[in-house]
Amino acid sequence: MLTKGKVSGIISNLVIVDADGPVAQNEICRIEHEGTKLMAEVIKLNRNQAFVQVFESTRGLRVGSDVEFTGHMLEATLGPGILSRNYDGLQNDLDRLEGIFLKKGEYNFPLDEEQAWEFKPLAEAGETVEAGSWLGEVIENWIPHKIMVPFKFSGSFTIKWIAEQSSHRVHDVIAVLTDSRGEEHQITMVQKWPVKLAVKAYKAKTRPFKIMETGIRVIDTLNPIAEGGTGFIPGPFGCGKTVLQHALSRQADADMVVIAACGERANEVVEIFTDFPKLIDARTGRKLIERTTIIANTSNMPVAAREASVYTAMTIAEYYRAMGLKILLLADSTSRWAQALREMSNRMEELPGPDAFPMDLPAIISNYYSRAGFVELNNGKTGSITFIGTVSPAGGNLKEPVTESTKKAARCFYALSQQRADSKRYPAIDPIDSYSKYFEYEEVKDYMARNISPDWVDQVVRARDTLLRGREAQEQINILGDDGVPLEYHVRYWKSEVIDFIILQQDAFDKVDRTSPIARQKYMLGKVLEIADREMKFKNFDEVASWFKRLINSLRQMNYSKYESGEFYNHLKEVDQMLIEIAEL
Amino acid sequence: MTEKRAFQKVYTRLTRITKATCSVRASGIGYDELALVDGRLAQVVKIIGDEVTLQIFSGTEGVPTNAELVFLGMAPALKVSEELAGRFLNAYGEPIDGGPALTGKEIEIGGPSVNPVRRMQPSQLIATGIAGIDLNNTLVTGQKIPFFADPDQPFNQVMATVALRAQADKIILGGMGLSHDDYLYYRNVFENAGALERIIAFINTTENPPVERLLVPDMVLTAAEFFAVEKNEKVLVLLTDMTLFADALSIVSNRMDQIPSKDNMPGSLYSDLARIYEKAVQFPDGGSITIIAVTTLSGGDITHAIPDNTGYITEGQLFLRRDSDIGKVIVDPFRSLSRLKQLVIGKQTREDHSQVMNSAIRLYADAANAKTKHENGFDLTEYDERTLKFARDYSEKLLAIDINIGIDEMLDTGWKLFDRYFSPEEVGMKEELVKKYWPGQSGKQ
Ligand SMILES: Nc1ncnc2c1ncn2[C@@H]1O[C@H](COP(=O)(O)OP(=O)(O)OP(=O)(O)O)[C@@H](O)[C@H]1O
Ligand SMILES: [Mg+2]
C-alpha cells in the first residue's frame, strides 16, 4: 500500500503534507489539483509531516488536497529514442506537449512507445550477466544503442531466454533473466533510474589520459580538457559562456552531446533547435541533432525543476556512457541550479551559509562533478562523460560560493575576462588565470607527445611564457610611456599580441575559423612560435606596431582561409615575405 | 476586480498583523488568491493549516484587528479584449483615463510560460533611426533588452522615441514608480504622435503605494500575450523603471523577514526578473512580444544586484552616457550590446554592416586609448590625433541619440568618416568592400 496524505500548508512551491504512513526522503508524490496532479519531491521529513517541493506553480492550491506518494524517487526513463529529443527538466518530451503554453500538471512518457526498433542480441541464453551487461543493441540514429541489464539489478543473473534478431517496441520483453534464487525477471528495452544517484554499473573509474578535441584553440592548445574530465566556465554576463558552450556542443569530438539549459534564456535553446537539424557534424557527416539531447529548463520554467534538470541530464549521460560511448555533458548555468537550492532552503528557514546559499552547497556541487569521468566497463570496453558547466558569478566577482565550490570540484578553469570581452577578444578566456590540471597529468602529456608532437608540451609552455612576458612589457609601457621603455619591450608586447590574435582569439561566427582541428592548431602554434623566436630590429616603436599589425592581419587571413588551400598558402607567403624583410633590415 | 461579491463570506477577526501582512483563520482558500482587507487589496502568500497569511499591497498602516476581510476567489486578473487599445489603467487594470470599465475575458495574470519548442528564432529587425542602436546594437522582434542609465539621463524620452518609430502594432507601457510628470509626458508624446489607439498603459506613479508596482509587469504582459497570441500582432512592451520594481520586491521580502541576499535583494531576484523578461517571444504565426526596459543605475554601478541579474537575463543592454566632448547623450558603443544583432546584420541590412560597425568601434577605442595617453601626460602621435577627430565626428553624427536616419545612410556616413581621417589600410576592412564603398575609391583607379 502506498502512503497517502493531505496538504496542510503552502508557502509558494513548498508544500507541507500530513502523511498517513512511511515516506522516504526524496520520494516523489502527486498532489491533486483541479483535475490534474502536480508532481513534487520530498525534501524534508518531520514526524508525519513531509515538506515537498512542487515542480509547478501552486497557484490556487488548497489545504486539504489529496496527496499520493509514489514509493520512488525522481527517475529518468532510459531506453532507445532519447537522442535528438527535447525534454524539460523532468524529462517530458516538449514536442509532444499540446499547445503554445506549458500546462500545469501535464507530463508524458519520454520515449516513443510505438516506434519499432530492430533488436539484435549480443548475448546468449545461459550467459551470466549483471547490471549494465549488454544484452543486445538497436541502431538509434547511427549509434549502436545497447540494451542493458537494468542498473537497479544487483547480483548476478543467468539469461534464460533472449529474443532473436527481430523488431520490437520499447515495452516488449526482449529477455528473461533468472536470479540466484531462481526467480525470473522480464527485461524490456526501458529501465528507470533515480536521477540523484550515480550509476555505478562499471568496473572502475580510471584517470583520464587523452584529450578531447574541441576545435577551440585556447582550450585544445593551451588548456586541454581530458576525455572524461571536468571543467567550468565562470564569467560575468555577456562575456561568452553560452557562445563557448554552443561551440563545444557543435564541434567537440564526442559520440553524444547532452545539453542542460538550466535556468537560462529560451531563445538560446531555440537557436539550437533551429541550427542543429541543419548543421553537419564534420566527423560523421550526420546532422548534429542526431547526436544531441537537450534538457531545457529555461529561466521562466518552474524553478524547482531546474535542480532536476541537471540530474536528469547527468543520468542520461551515464546511461549512454554505459554503452561504451564518449559523452559530452554541458550545463548552462550551474549557478541557476544553486540559486534554486537557495530559494528552497530559505523557504524552509534553514540556517544559511555564505550569501544565503545552503550550507551543503560545496558538497552538492562536488558530488555532481564526481559523476563525470572515464570508466572501464565490466566487459572491458570504456566510456566517458566529459562535463563542462558554466557559472554566473554575482557581480562578476569570482569570490562567491558557487564559483569557489566549483573551483574545488572541476579540473579545468576557463575564466572569462570582462576586459577581454569588452575589447571583443573572443573567446574571452583569460590566458593567464585559466588552467587545465590535465596538462600536468603524465598520462596526458604522454598522449600529447605521441599524438600531436614530441615537443608539444614545450611549445605550449613557450607560448604561455611569451604571453606572460608580453603582459609584463605592456604594463611597463603603460606606466612609463612608449618612449620610456627600450624598444625591445614593444617587440615583446607585440609578439604576445601575435599569439593573442592568432591562437587565443577565434571567431565563433566564422564558417572556417570557428573550428580548428588539432593538426591545424599544431601548425599555427609552430608558426607563431617561429615568429616569437625571431630576433627583430626596428627603428622606432611606431614601426614595430605597424609591422606587427600588418603581420597579424596576414596571419588572421590564414585563420579565415580553408586549411592548406591556395588562399591559405598565399597569406602564408605574405607572412614569410614579411619575416624575410625584417631579417634583412 | 476589486468589487466585493455578494455571496462571499466576510471575516472580521485578524489573528495577526505585521508591517506587510495580516493573518486570518479560514479554510478552502487557494494559494495566490486575492482578498480585500479593510478595502485594500491583498494576496495570499502563506497557508499553514487554517491560518491564512496575506500580503497587503498598500501596507498595513491603520488596519485594525476587526477589519473586514473578503476573499475574491481568484488570483489577480485582467479583462482582455480589443477594447484595451488606447486605455490608461492603474496597476490593478482599472481605468485611470475616465473611460468606461473594461469588459472582456478575465485572465489571471502571471500565466504559464511558452513551451520553448513552440518559439521561433527572432529574425525581424526593428529600425529606430538611432544609429547607436540600429548600426551598433540592432534590435530584433522578440528580444528583451534594457537601457542601463543613470537616473538623470533622458531614458523615458529615448524609450518613447524608439516606441513610436518601431512600427509596432501595439505599444504597451508599464510605468512603475513613474513621476507624475513623466506619466503626463508619455501621454502627451503618444497623443501628439496620433498613436493613442496603438497604446495601452498600466501606470503606477510615485503617488501610488510602491508594492502595487509588483502587479504592473504581469498586467502588461497579459495584455501583450492577448494581442500577440490571439491577434498575431507585433507588440512592443516598455517597462520603466525595473529598478523601482525590484526595490518593491525587496520591500516585501524584508517586511516578511526573508533572508536577503546581495544588496538586500531577495534570493529569488533572478527568477522574479526572468519570469517577466522571458515573456519576450517570437511566435510562429507572426505575433511577437519585444520588451524594452529601463534599469536605472546608481552611480553607474552595474555590479549591483539589480543590473547584474538583469544583464544575466536580457539579450544585451543599451548604455546611455553623456559625451562631454559634444555635449550630447550617446549610446555607448563599448558597453552596449544587442545579442541578437547577428541574426539580422548583413541579412536584413547591407553586406558592409558588420565591418563598418566593427571598424568604427575599433577606431573609437583607439581614440579612447589616445585620450588616456594624453591625460597621463604622454605625447600623441599623428594617428592618435586623427582618431580623436574621428571620435568626435562619429559621436556627433552617429552615436548621439538625436539621430534619425536610415541604416544605409548610417553606413554611408561611416564610410565618409573613414575616408576623412584614415587610409583604407588603417581601417583594415575586406578588400572587396573597400573597392565597393570607400568614397572615391573606384574613381582613383
Ligand atoms: N567567440 C565569440 N565570437 C564572437 N562573438 C562572441 C563570442 N563569444 C561571445 N560573443 C559575443 O558576446 C555575446 C554574449 O555572449 P554569451 O551569450 O555567450 O554570454 P554569456 O556569458 O553566456 O552571458 P550570460 O551570462 O548573460 O548568459 C554574444 O551574443 C556575442 O555577440
Ligand atoms: Mg549565457
Residue A41 domain boundaries: 4-73
Which tens digit of pLDDT belongs to each residue from B365-403?
Answer: 999 989 998 998 888 889 999 999 999 999 999 999 999
Do A407 and A266 belong to one domain? yes
Pairwise CB contact (< 8 Å): A101 & B113:
yes
> A179 in a domain, yes or no?
yes
Give the Å distances, CA to CA, from A468 to A474, A477, A533, A556: 10, 14, 15, 22
Across A16-20, A388-392, B334-338, least confident range: B334-338
CATH assignment of the domain containing A144: 2.40.50.100
Do A163 and A41 belong to one domain? no
| Triad A205, A207, A212: Cα angle to 5° | 105
CA distance A133 to A139: 17
Residues of B in contact with A238 (CB under 8 A): 311, 316-317, 337, 339
Pairwise CB contact (< 8 Å): B116 & A336:
no
Do A334 and A365 belong to one domain? yes
- Rounded to the nearest angstrom, the gap between the alpha carbon of residue A251 and the centroid of all alpha carbons in its chain is 13
pLDDT at B230 over 80: yes
The answer to whether A302 and A262 are in contact (CB under 8 A) is no
Strand partners of residue B42: B35, B56
The answer to whether B266 and B212 are in contact (CB under 8 A) is no
User: Which amino acid, residue A501?
Assistant: F
Least CA distance to B275: which residue of chain A? A300
Q: What is the pLDDT of residue B442?
A: 55
Task: Give the ligand whose atoms come closest to the C-alpha of residue A416.
Answer: 1
Q: Torsions phi, psi of A314, nearest 5?
A: -60, -40
pLDDT at B77 over 70: yes
Restricting to A residues 363-402, those with a Cβ less than 8 Å away from any Cβ of B are 392, 394-397
Tally of domains within chain A? 4
What percent of chain A has pLDDT above 90?
89
User: Which H or E run contains A191?
Assistant: strand A191-194
Q: Where are the alpha helices (DSSP H) in A168-240?
A: 217
CA distance B313 to B270: 8
Pairwise CB contact (< 8 Å): A59 & B376:
no
Do A219 and A298 belong to one domain? yes
Restricting to B residues 195-234, those with a Cβ less than 8 Å away from any Cβ of A are 229
Coil vs helix vs strand at B97: coil
Beta carbons within 8 Å of B188's beta carbon, 6+ residues apart? none
User: Which H or E run contains A135?
Assistant: strand A134-140
CA distance A43 to B277: 30
Radius of gyration of chain B (CA): 25
Q: What is the pLDDT of residue B444?
A: 40
Do A184 and A65 belong to one domain? no
Q: What is the pLDDT of residue B92?
A: 93
DSSP B44-85: EEEEETTEEEEEETT--TT--TT--EEE-SS--EEEESGGGT
Give the Å distances, CA to CA, from A345 to A63, A349, B34, B268: 22, 6, 26, 11
Chain B contact present for A578, CB below 8 A: no
CA distance B373 to A245: 37
Across A319-333, A462-476, B8-22, B175-189, least confident range: B8-22
Do A172 and A209 belong to one domain? no
> A105 in a domain, yes or no?
no
Instruction: Give the dihedral sign, CA A390/A424/B136/A515.
Output: negative
What percent of chain B has pLDDT above 70?
97
Do A306 and A413 belong to one domain? yes
Residues of A in contact with B117 (CB under 8 A): 86, 94-95, 273
> A514 in a domain, yes or no?
yes
Q: Which residue reads 525595473 in cell numbers?
A: B242
Give the Å distances, CA to CA, from A399 to A234, A392, A406, A407: 11, 12, 11, 10
Pairwise CB contact (< 8 Å): A238 & B27:
no
CA distance B74 to B58: 19
pLDDT at A364 over 50: yes
Q: Torsions phi, psi of A227, nearest 5?
A: -65, 125
Distance A241 CA to ligand 1 centre (A): 6
The answer to whether A49 and A79 are in contact (CB under 8 A) is no
Coil vs helix vs strand at B405: coil
* Bridge-based pairing state of the strands A412-413 and A230-234: parallel
Pairwise CB contact (< 8 Å): A265 & B270:
no
- Considering only the beta carbons, identify the residue of A58, A269, A342 that sits closest to B31: A58
Chain A contact present for B73, CB below 8 A: no
- Considering only the beta carbons, identify the residue of A58, A356, A396 that sits closest to B303: A396
CATH assignment of the domain containing A254: 3.40.50.300
Beta carbons within 8 Å of B393's beta carbon, 6+ residues apart? B417, B420, B421
Do A546 and A432 belong to one domain? no
Give the Å distances, CA to CA, from B81 to A522, B95, B170, B174: 64, 14, 13, 18
User: Which amino acid, residue B235?
Assistant: V
CA distance B45 to A14: 11
Q: Where are the alpha helices (DSSP H) in A259-350?
A: 266-275, 304-321, 334-347
pTM, 2 dp: 0.94
> A84 in a domain, yes or no?
no
pLDDT at B133 over 70: yes
Restricting to B residues 394-423, those with a Cβ less than 8 Å away from any Cβ of A are none
pLDDT at B282 over 50: yes
> A355 in a domain, yes or no?
yes
Which tens digit of pLDDT belongs to each residue from A111-144?
Answer: 999 999 999 999 999 999 999 999 999 999 989 9
**A565 DSSP 8-state letter:** S
Which tens digit of pLDDT belongs to each residue from B195-208?
Answer: 999 999 999 999 99
Q: Where are the alpha helices (DSSP H) in B166-231?
A: 180-192, 216-225
CA nearest to B151, candidates B13, B299, B17: B299
Coil vs helix vs strand at B443: helix
Chain B contact present for A552, CB below 8 A: no
Joined together, the cell numbers standing for residue A271 give: 537557436
Beta carbons within 8 Å of A152's beta carbon, 6+ residues apart? A131, A191, A192, A193
- 3-state class percentages of chain B: helix first, strand second, coil last, to nearest 5: 40, 25, 40
Beta strands in B168-301 (DSSP E): 170-178, 199-205, 234-240, 281-282, 288-296
Instruction: Give the dihedral sign, CA B156/B158/B159/B160.
Output: positive
Candidate of A214, A243, A335 to mutate for ligand 1, largest count of ligand atoms within 8 Å of Cβ: A243
Three-state SS letters, A499-564: HHHHHHCCCCCCCCCCCCCHHHHHHHHHHHHHHHHCCCCCCCHHHHHHHHHHHHHHHHHHHHCCCC
Q: What is the pLDDT of residue B61?
A: 92
Do A364 and A402 belong to one domain? yes
Q: What is the pLDDT of residue B428?
A: 76
- Considering only the beta carbons, identify the residue of B258, B271, B339 that sits closest to A299: B271
Domains of chain B with CATH codes? 10-71 (2.40.30.20), 77-108+144-314 (3.40.50.12240), 353-440 (no CATH)
Cis amide linkage into residue B253, ω under 30° from 0: no
Rounded mean pLDDT of B247-270? 87
> A109 in a domain, yes or no?
no
Which tens digit of pLDDT belongs to each residue from A309-359?
Answer: 999 999 999 999 999 999 999 999 999 999 999 988 888 888 889 988 999
Rounded mean pLDDT of B166-185? 95
pLDDT at B254 over 70: yes
Q: What is the pLDDT of residue A452?
A: 96
CATH assignment of the domain containing A567: 1.10.1140.10
pLDDT at A585 over 80: no
> A97 in a domain, yes or no?
no
Q: Which residues line ligand 1 (CB under 6 A)?
A: A 235, 237-243, 264, 392, 426-427, 507-509; B 311-312, 339
- Considering only the beta carbons, identify the residue of B29, B115, B334 that sits closest to A102: B115
- The torsion defined by the Cα of B159, B157, B203 and B82, in degrees rounded to 10, comes to -50
State the pLDDT confidence band at A383, using cuts at 50, 70 and 90.
Answer: very high
Do A184 and A317 belong to one domain? no
CATH assignment of the domain containing A52: 2.40.10.170
Do A252 and A386 belong to one domain? yes
Q: Which residue reads 496538504 in cell numbers?
A: A7
Q: What is the pLDDT of residue A584?
A: 67
CA distance A466 to A496: 6
- To the nearest whole Å, the CA of A517 is away from the closest chain B CA by 25
The answer to whether A462 and A532 are in contact (CB under 8 A) is yes
Q: Which value does ipTM take for this structure?
A: 0.92
Do A312 and A417 belong to one domain? yes
**A362-401: b or e for each residue (b if 16 or more CB lie within 10 Å)?**
bebbeebbebbbbbebbeebbbbbbbbbbbbbbbbebebb
Q: What is the pLDDT of residue A304?
A: 86
> A577 in a domain, yes or no?
yes
The answer to whether B393 and B420 are in contact (CB under 8 A) is yes
The answer to whether B251 and B56 are in contact (CB under 8 A) is no
Which tens digit of pLDDT belongs to each residue from A280-301?
Answer: 988 889 999 999 999 999 999 9
Burial of A406 by CB count in 10 Å (0-12 exposed, 13-18 middle, 19+ buried)?
Answer: buried
CA nearest to A13, candidates A261, A306, A264, A351: A306
* Bridge-based pairing state of the strands B21-25 and B14-17: antiparallel
pLDDT at B443 over 50: no
CA nearest to A412, candidates A233, A208, A220: A233
State the pLDDT confidence band at B347, using cuts at 50, 70 and 90.
Answer: very high
Rounded mean pLDDT of A439-451? 96
Index of the ligand 1 atom closest to the CA of residue A239: 21
Index of the ligand 1 atom closest to the CA of residue A416: 21
